[in-house]
Structure 1
Amino acid sequence: MAKCPKCPPPGAPAWLATFADMMSLLMCFFVLLLSMASMDVQKFKQIADSMKNAFGVQRLIQVDQIPLGTSVIEQHFSPGQTQPTPLEEIQQSTQQQTEQLDESPDTMERAKQQVIAENLQQIADQAEEIKDRLKVEIDQGLVTVGTKGFRIVIRINEKGSFPSASAILQPGFEPVMDKITQSIAESHGKVIVAGHTDDVPIKTAMYRSNWELSSSRAVTVVQYMLEKNQIDPQRFLIEGHADTHPLFPNDSQQNRAANRRVEIVIAQDEALLKDQDPSLRVIQTDSFPDKPL
């Protein structure tokens, strides 16, 4: 049978094999690029071993001892210095700041208690300084000094300070008031001046009740300290309690004399005091101090 002149020669064209090889190599090349976009040591090792076997570059090296573990990248490539992207730097910085601010409740509570203890120690030291300044007056029974929480309590007894049923300072008590004024001026915080009386009713031309008498005595003390121009008037708070907050039961002359007093309370860090003891929601000047006065 005659050969058909229009039929193509049998088999694939000669150029097709070369083209197919080139396409295969290009596909392998892009596959390698894709696989190395995110470096995985295990996958890279498998690919490297496969490439060495495929291209016949595997070598056998005689060794006398067991080789130590080395990095696959270090064996085949020179080390390169990687530079983090701006996004990675921002994320890393944010995570570090978050870790620094992430404190456990126990750590925060310990830090809080440490601050409270330091403030209490400072108040105790300041109270001791006031005691040293008023040592003579304390020995004479004119004043007493103590602490209660975050407050320093300077208690002016009626003895030597005010005549009976009067809110006028006795002559000779000014040096005591000068020392107290100096102590208040050197301190910081709110100054609560509260007057107290016993339970014996009073009704005179000047004072209609113990309420007026206790308030007038507190005003007299504040007015004396303000005349020295050493203390900011906004620090003062005046209270008159009459006989509603006695230190002792009014059942003897000695107890009644102790209840007639003017208390000067230096309240410092009152917010911490409230947070430490929820029951203390207001400033109180009539309860017994933490330390004996």
Structure 2
Amino acid sequence: MSDCPKCPPVGAPAWLATFADLMSLLMCFFILLLSMASMDVVKFKKVADSLKEAFGVQREIQVEQIPMGTSVIEQHFSPGQIQQTPLEEIRQSTEEEKEQIDTPEDMDIAKQKVIEATLKEIADEAEKIKQKLNAEIEQGLVTVETNGFRIVIRINEKGSFSSASAVLKPGFEPVMDKITESVMESKGKVIVAGHTDDIPIKTVMYRSNWELSSSRAVTVAQYILEKQHIDPHRFLIEGHADTHPLLPNDSPQNRAVNRRVEIVLARDEAFLNDRNQAVETLQMDATPDIKP
């Protein structure tokens, strides 16, 4: 049977293949424009990090000036996104900008400013504690002083503990309440350290001055923790016996001064561990011993 002369040829016409290719190219072109205009910065960074780890991309490139340029799509096209992306917050400029370089001198000045501001804050806090304990200081029950980044609240044996005892005397609770309030309002570590004189002790309760000094420190710390809801992780208990005297143990008066419990509000450790400071790390020599 012969073909019908009036029937069209079998298959698509020749121009249809060219038209389909053109439509495909146009679709790819617009998809490419859309992908460049709405870049996911977070995902792009993750992909770049993965490629860096996989292929060993060089991390740093030594250049005299930072290359800068403008993105035509970023300036003249805003993708239809509801949430703002980090790219939309970036304002690019072709003008040269001065690069601020932190020299060692600038770093030293910044450190000094941070130190001075912190020391002033500690001095103001110590003055408030002195005003709160003014009556007790005049009676010789407590003393308050500063030592670098630390505030030392010293509880004297007078009125606080009986001889060879780690139990607070009746009537000393109001003093401890004021001290507890000051500790609650403070920052940083709370070091409670007990001290004795050089006269040896050996009783049923305490085998040595080490146990006596530690027990007195525990008594003070326990009183503070029971009165207020303070994080116990801030506390550090120390018993020094007669190893850190304030005065030589050569008279009854000096021995009485050495028998004490010190509450040290240590800001140096908190200051060094604080990652929100303007300076990343502050190197300083801080000893745990409190000396006049």
TM-score by length of 1: 0.63
Which residue of structure 2 aligns with residue 268 of structure 1?
267
8 Å CA contact 1:116, 1:272 repeated in 2 = no
Deviation at 1:91, TM superposition (A): 8.8
Which residue of structure 2 aligns with residue 179 of structure 1?
178
Q: Which has the larger radius of gyration?
A: 1
SS in 2 for 1:269: helix
Deviation at 1:270, TM superposition (A): 2.7
Deviation at 1:188, TM superposition (A): 1.0
Measured in 1, the distance between the counterparts of 2:252 and 2:282 equals 39
Deviation at 1:86, TM superposition (A): 3.7
The within-5 A match list for 1:226-237 is 226-237=225-236
8 Å CA contact 2:70, 2:93 repeated in 1 = no
Deviation at 1:92, TM superposition (A): 5.3
Q: Which amino acid aligns with 1:277?
A: M
Residue 287 (1) aligns with residue 286 (2): no
Deviation at 1:107, TM superposition (A): 1.4
Measured in 2, the distance between the counterparts of 1:154 and 1:229 equals 18
Deviation at 1:232, TM superposition (A): 1.3
The within-5 A match list for 1:105-120 is 105-120=104-119
8 Å CA contact 1:196, 1:243 repeated in 2 = yes
Q: Which amino acid aligns with 2:291?
A: S
Residue 277 (1) aligns with residue 277 (2): no
Which residue of structure 2 aligns with residue 99 of structure 1?
99
Q: Which 4+ runs in 1 deviate beyond 6 A?
A: none
Which residue of structure 2 aligns with residue 210 of structure 1?
209
* Cα root mean square deviation, aligned: 2.2
Q: Structure 1: any 5+ residue segments left out of the alignment?
A: 1-83, 289-293
Measured in 2, the distance between the counterparts of 1:230 and 1:185 equals 8
Measured in 2, the distance between the counterparts of 1:212 and 1:270 equals 27
Deviation at 1:276, TM superposition (A): 4.9
Measured in 2, the distance between the counterparts of 1:178 and 1:125 equals 21
Residues 239-279 of structure 1: CA distance to partner in whole angstroms, max 9, x if unpaired? 0000000001000001000000000000113365794533x
Identify if the C-alpha distance between structure 1 residues 271 and 108 changes in structure 2 by more than 3 Å, giving closer, same or farther. farther
Measured in 1, the distance between the counterparts of 2:71 and 2:110 equals 36
Identify if the C-alpha distance between structure 1 residues 85 and 222 changes in structure 2 by more than 3 Å, giving closer, same or farther. closer
Identify if the C-alpha distance between structure 1 residues 246 and 179 changes in structure 2 by more than 3 Å, giving closer, same or farther. same
SS in 2 for 1:154: strand
Q: Which amino acid aligns with 1:158?
A: E
Which residue of structure 1 aligns with residue 151 of structure 2?
152
Q: Which amino acid aligns with 1:108?
A: M
Q: Which amino acid aligns with 2:185?
A: E
Measured in 2, the distance between the counterparts of 1:189 and 1:209 equals 31
Residue 222 (1) aligns with residue 229 (2): no
SS in 1 for 2:99: helix
The within-5 A match list for 1:184-195 is 184-195=183-194
8 Å CA contact 1:163, 1:170 repeated in 2 = yes
Measured in 1, the distance between the counterparts of 2:247 and 2:131 equals 27
Identify if the C-alpha distance between structure 1 residues 109 and 272 changes in structure 2 by more than 3 Å, giving closer, same or farther. farther
Deviation at 1:230, TM superposition (A): 2.8
TM-score by length of 2: 0.64
Deviation at 1:90, TM superposition (A): 6.5
The within-5 A match list for 1:134-149 is 134-149=133-148
Deviation at 1:151, TM superposition (A): 0.4
Measured in 2, the distance between the counterparts of 1:271 and 1:107 equals 24
Q: Structure 2: any 5+ residue segments left out of the alignment?
A: 1-68, 73-90, 273-280
Deviation at 1:134, TM superposition (A): 0.2
Measured in 2, the distance between the counterparts of 1:111 and 1:260 equals 41
Equivalenced residue count is 198
Measured in 1, the distance between the counterparts of 2:121 and 2:270 equals 16
Measured in 1, the distance between the counterparts of 2:185 and 2:282 equals 26
